[in-house]
Amino acid sequence: MRHVRLLSGAGLALAVALIAAGCGNPTAASTGYQTSPTAGSPQTTTTSSTPAAAPQLSGPAPAFSVTDTDGQTITVPSAHTTVLYFMAAWCGSCAAGEQQLAQMEPQLPPGVQMVSLDVTPQTDTPAALDQLASAAGAKWPQAFASNAVIAAYKVAYLDTVAVVSPKGQLVYEGPIPSSPRLLSIVRSAAGTD
**In the chain, % of residues over pLDDT 90:** 67
Task: Delineate the domains of the chain, giving CATH numbers in brackets.
Answer: 34-39+54-190 (3.40.30.10)
Distance CA 58, CA 171 (A): 7
Q: What is the mean pLDDT of residues 109-128?
A: 95
Burial 43-73 (b: 16+ CB within 10 A, else e): eeeeeeebbeeebeeeeebbebebebbeeee
Q: What is the mean pLDDT of residues 126-147?
A: 96
Q: What is the pLDDT of residues 28-44, one digit of tens each?
A: 333 444 444 443 333 22
Distance CA 183, CA 193 (A): 9
Question: What's the pLDDT score for residue 48?
Answer: 29
Q: Is pLDDT at 1 greater than 50 in this prediction?
A: no
